[in-house]
């Protein structure tokens, strides 16, 4: 504020100015604006997260329910006994395919849960990437044939050995190849190339499919993200596969990258992994799996004590073991197992882990504390399939581990004395 000072004749002879420092006021206003902006951004992010969560839950419900329709439908028709042999085979194949689809969805959910909790572990050893590629291609072969897709492979003649978890690396490539098959139209082409560059192995998968919108590329490896609702409705899936791919690759010290020129232009995924440094390593020959059809009654007269609280699973496993020639006593609880073990005198124990009152770990510890239970071979049967779970089973006293859903051949092989 400025005020004039006048003399007796009224002329201005002086000016008096009064000013106020409003620096703090301006600073407070700036801070308030920044706070409002931050709050608005946080609110928008929360709303976006809630929207993504709601969309994911809706997709999850759909994806888990969808396989149930053919499973229950064909089961009902099979029970009526009116299907001819060809339709019966088709029904069984459809039920099996959809059951495996549900298993994969659940495995993806469990993997994401392990990732978010930092509990995903690796069983590290030297791995031949050529073998990983061959196994992964075999996994998607039938789906590719059904769509008349051409798969071309270009593999380096140099042995590409990396240090890693063979199962997890196969999971990485299977996820990428499954996406390529899913998003490539009938008659399209998929190219898989393995090359060696300096101290890295590079796997490149290129398809002639629907491509990726450039705006979505930065988010393609994030959890629960799919490009749009139309993609989810048309192609299915939970939007978890590529997020799992990135996490597993990074745990191996590698990188994964997605490229696309745009919608309708196909896509390329590049995985780079550090090579195994031990030049003298020679891969051990894998043992050929033993088939039940090649061994007559592999559990002939083997006395098996089986512990499982869930009645349907109990009846299924008893049937599998008895078909293999075993003499089975099945009980519904760990407490009951402790009551019958001395009288039954089993050659091998097969026990579920997740049971009420007393779990399989506690049962195994109590059996190992008995004189007659110290030498009994024991197989842990559980839906907890991670490496950490297998370690816990070994610590408790189990020598072997079989994951649910059960592979009959694997169960019988592990149950041999």
What pLDDT, in 10s, does the model give residues 26-64?
Answer: 888 888 888 888 888 888 877 776 766 666 666 666 667
Q: Report the relative pairing of strands 161-164 and 2-6 from DSSP bridges.
A: unpaired
pLDDT at 294 over 50: no
CA–CA dist 321, 390 (Å, integer): 22
Q: Which of 68-72, 91-95, 313-317 has the lowest mean pLDDT?
A: 68-72
CA–CA dist 330, 318 (Å, integer): 7
pLDDT of residue 290: 36
pLDDT at 266 over 90: yes
Q: May I ask the CATH class of domain 292-414?
A: alpha beta
Phi and psi angles of residue 332, each rounded to the nearest 5 degrees, phi first: -90, 0
pLDDT at 273 over 50: yes
pLDDT at 241 over 70: yes
pLDDT at 102 over 90: no
* Of 293 and 66, more confident: 66
Quick one: tokens of 33?
């604006």
**Cis ω before 126 (30° cut-off from 0):** no
Distance set, CA 22 to CA 29, 123, 163 (Å): 10, 64, 64
Q: What is the mean pLDDT of residues 180-186?
A: 92
**Close Cβ partners of 339 (under 8 Å, ≥ 6 residues apart):** 331
The per-residue pLDDT for range 19-32, each reduced to its tens digit, is 778 888 888 888 88
CA–CA dist 389, 4 (Å, integer): 88
User: The tokens 């042999």 sit on which residue?
Assistant: 85
Confidence of residue 281 (pLDDT cuts 50, 70, 90): very low
CATH level 3 topology of 27-116: Helix Hairpins (1.10.287)
Q: Which of 19-28, 330-339, 348-357, 384-393 has the lowest mean pLDDT?
A: 384-393
Same fold, 27-116 and 292-414: no
pLDDT at 125 over 80: yes
pLDDT of residue 387: 67
Confidence of residue 327 (pLDDT cuts 50, 70, 90): very high
pLDDT of residue 271: 95
CA–CA dist 186, 88 (Å, integer): 28
Q: CA nearest 271: which of 344, 179, 342, 358?
A: 179
- Out of 121-125, 248-252, 326-330, give the one with best mean pLDDT: 326-330
User: The tokens 């572990």 sit on which residue?
Assistant: 121
pLDDT of residue 282: 42
The per-residue pLDDT for range 185-202, each reduced to its tens digit, is 999 999 999 998 878 999
pLDDT of residue 67: 78
Q: Taking all residues of the chain, what is their mean pLDDT, rounded to a whole number?
A: 83
CA–CA dist 337, 330 (Å, integer): 8
Confidence of residue 376 (pLDDT cuts 50, 70, 90): very high
CA–CA dist 234, 257 (Å, integer): 25
145 by DSSP, 3-state: which? helix
Domain definitions of the chain by residue range? 27-116, 126-274, 292-414
Q: May I ask the CATH class of domain 126-274?
A: alpha beta
Q: CA nearest 48: which of 213, 220, 221, 225?
A: 225
Q: Which of 163-177, 184-198, 216-230, 352-366 has the lowest mean pLDDT?
A: 216-230
């Amino acid at each position: 504020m400025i005020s004039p000072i006048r003399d007796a004749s009224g002329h201005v002879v002086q000016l008096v100015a009064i000013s106020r420092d409003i620096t703090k006021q301006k600073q407070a206003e700036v801070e308030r604006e920044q706070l409002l902006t931050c709050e608005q951004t946080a609110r928008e992010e929360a709303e976006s997260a809630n929207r993504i969560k709601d969309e994911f839950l809706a997709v999850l419900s759909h994806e888990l329910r969808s396989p149930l329709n053919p499973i229950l439908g064909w089961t009902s028709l099979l029970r009526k006994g009116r299907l001819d042999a060809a339709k019966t085979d088709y029904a069984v194949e459809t039920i099996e395919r959809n059951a495996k689809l549900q298993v994969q969805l659940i495995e993806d959910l469990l993997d994401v849960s392990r990732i978010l909790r930092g509990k995903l572990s690796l069983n590290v050893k030297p791995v031949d990437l050529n073998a990983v590629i061959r196994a992964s291609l075999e996994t998607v072969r039938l789906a590719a044939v059904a769509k008349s897709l051409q798969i071309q492979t270009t593999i380096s003649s140099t042995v590409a050995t990396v240090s890693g978890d063979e199962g997890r690396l196969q999971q990485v490539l299977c996820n990428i190849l499954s996406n390529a098959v899913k998003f490539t139209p009938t008659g399209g082409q998929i190219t898989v190339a393995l090359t060696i560059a300096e101290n890295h192995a590079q796997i490149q998968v290129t398809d002639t499919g629907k491509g990726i919108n450039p705006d979505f590329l930065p988010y393609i490896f994030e959890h629960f993200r799919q490009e749009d609702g139309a993609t989810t409705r048309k192609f299915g899936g939970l939007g978890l596969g590529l997020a799992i791919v990135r996490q597993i690759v990074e745990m191996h010290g590698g990188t994964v990258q997605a490229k696309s020129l745009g919608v309708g232009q196909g896509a390329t995924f590049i995985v780079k992994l550090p090579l195994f440094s031990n030049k003298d390593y020679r891969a051990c020959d894998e043992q050929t799996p033993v088939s039940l059809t090649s061994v007559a009654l592999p559990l002939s007269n083997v006395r098996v004590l089986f512990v499982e609280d869930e009645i349907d699973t109990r009846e299924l496993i008893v049937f599998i073991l008895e078909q293999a020639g075993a003499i089975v006593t099945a009980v519904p609880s760990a407490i009951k197992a402790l009551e019958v073990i001395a009288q039954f005198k089993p050659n091998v124990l097969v026990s579920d882990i997740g049971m009420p009152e007393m779990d399989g770990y506690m049962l195994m510890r109590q059996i190992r504390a008995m004189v007659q239970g110290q030498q009994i071979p024991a197989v842990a049967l559980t839906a907890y399939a991670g490496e950490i779970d297998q370690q816990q089973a070994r610590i408790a006293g189990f020598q072997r581990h079989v994951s649910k859903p059960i592979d009959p051949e694997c169960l019988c092989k592990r149950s041999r004395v």
